[in-house]
Amino acid sequence: MRATVIQAPHDIRVEEVPDAALRNPGDAVVRVVRACICGSDLWAYRGESARKPGQRIGHEFLGVVEETGAEVTGLRPGDLVVAPFVWSDGVCTYCADGLTTSCVHGGFWGSIGEEGQSDGGQGEAVRVPFADTTLVKLPPEALSDDHLLTGLLALSDVFGTGHHAALGAGVRPGSTVAVVGDGAVGLCGVLAARRLGAERIIALGRHQDRTDIARTFGATDVVAARGEEAVAAVRELTGGQGAHAVIEAVGTEQSMRTAVGITRDGGAIGYVGVPHGSGTGLDLGEMFDRNIALRGGVAPVRTYIEELLPGILDGSTDPAPVFDHAVDLDGVPGGYRAMDERTALKVLVTF
């Protein structure tokens, strides 16, 4: 089959690789129908996260079950399913807590673990371990609804990650929320905050095409500034206090510093931007004096799919607009370039 590999920084290729195939009785093989490129894939693309030459890449996909192992009971060939970006056994102590990303038997698509190279999401098919607990069935009729299918793909990572940030930030009905980062995760944070009942949502971003999406997602205010200037603007909008719930969806020192600066005393930062850089950007003295909490991390999106799915199916929360560019499998290398150069927000891959 054909799948995306990363040979070196800035060298993404689509190559012939071994067919996805059952290995364990709990596995399923899923033929990929939709995949996409994540902002976190760019860290590998830019050489800031190490990858082996030729390693598979991509961790977001939905598709149709092609084959199931002997122990798979909840899925059948032909089922339309979405995969969270981590597989999980569903029974360990962490899975029992809903923290599927810490599953003792879990792993990331495209990673190289005890069983060797796992399939990546940006390829024709994927072997899915623990298929019964990892995959979530979708209504089969979605297969014929392009827009819906795109929205459902967001359950694989980006929308669940925005939801995780909103929960970490403590968004509640009536909250004032600020969102640092106008990438796809930040925008999904806006959407998740609105879904959780936020009254006011301040989106920080300097790309109007993105903040326009933020507004359709529920942002009530836009701050087109960074750093100190952004902090001053958010404080001005909030009577000098800042936002009780702040979503940090970038992962740089500067974005974290901004997040601290715009959080109201006693509030929380929900952070889902993968941390990069040598420092944390956290002024612990300021956080201490003002009782600012920090809560977040890699999102256990598997746990959120059942909760988020109905709103996508009924159209009340539609994350599809974060995908502003579509390619086929051969177009994936160009998709990385487009995201790296910021000419695309998030690239959809169709098969």
Nearer to its own copies, 94 or 351 (CB): 94
Interatomic CA distance for residues 64 and 138, integer angstroms: 10
Q: Residues 119-158 vs its own copies: string with x where CB under 8 A?
A: ----------------------------------------
Using rule CB under 8 A, residue 72 touches its own copies: no
Q: DSSP characters for 78-116?
A: T-EEEE-SEE--S-SHHHHTT-GGG-TT-EETT-EETTE
If the CB atoms of residues 122 and 263 are measured against its own copies, the closer one turns out to be: 263
User: Is position 85 an interface residue for its own copies (rule: CB under 8 A)?
Assistant: no
Residue 290 binds its own copies, judged by CB under 8 A: yes
Stretch that binds its own copies, among 6-14, 33-41, 97-105, 131-139 (CB under 8 A): 97-105
Alpha carbon of 95 to those of 33, 109, 134, 186: distances in Å? 27, 18, 11, 26
Q: Does 173 bind its own copies (CB under 8 A)?
A: no
Distant-in-sequence, close-in-space partners of 288: CB < 8 Å, separation ≥ 6: none
289 is a contact residue toward its own copies (CB under 8 A): yes
The correct pick among 202, 274, 344, 347 for binding its own copies (CB under 8 A) is 274
Nearest to 89 by CA among 100, 74, 75: 100
d(CA 169, CA 157): 18
Q: Rank residues 123 and 261 by Cβ distance to its own copies and give the closer one.
A: 261
C-alpha angle 135/139/144, rounded to 5°?
115
Q: Judged by CB under 8 A, does residue 328 bind its own copies?
A: no
Neighbours of 143 (CB within 10 A): 15
Instruction: Please give the size of the binding site for its own copies, defined by CB under 8 A.
Output: 32
Contact of 181 with 246, CB cutoff 8 Å: no
- 91 forms part of the interface with its own copies (CB under 8 A): no
* Residue 113 or 315 having the CB closest to its own copies: 113
Q: The tokens 């590998």 sit on which residue? A: 44
Amino acid identity of 248?
Answer: E
Stretch that binds its own copies, among 17-25, 93-101, 147-155, 211-219 (CB under 8 A): 93-101
Closest CB 271 distance from its own copies, rounded Å: 7
State which of residues 47, 77, 140, 266 lies at the interface with its own copies (CB under 8 A): 266
- Pick the stretch among 64-72, 183-191, 283-291, 335-343 that binds its own copies (CB under 8 A): 283-291
Nearer to its own copies, 225 or 293 (CB): 293
- Is 93 a binder of its own copies (CB under 8 A)? yes
Question: Rounded to 5 degrees, what are φ and ψ at 116?
Answer: 85, -155
Q: Which stretch binds its own copies (CB under 8 A): 94-102, 110-118, 151-159, 175-183?
A: 94-102
DSSP state of 123: B
Residue 46's nearest CA partner among 255, 249, 276 is: 276
List, as own/partner pairs, every contact residues 330-339 make where C-beta atoms lie below 8 angstroms and the sequence separation is at least 24, other chains included: 330/14, 332/4, 332/12, 332/14, 332/37, 332/122, 333/4, 333/12, 333/13, 333/14, 335/37, 336/12, 336/37, 336/41, 336/42, 336/45, 339/37, 339/39, 339/41, 339/42
284 is a contact residue toward its own copies (CB under 8 A): yes
Return the number of the residue (78 or 173) whose C-beta is nearest its own copies: 173
Binding residues for its own copies (CB under 8 A): 93-94, 97, 99, 101-102, 168, 241, 256, 265-266, 268, 271, 274-275, 280, 282, 284-285, 287-298, 300
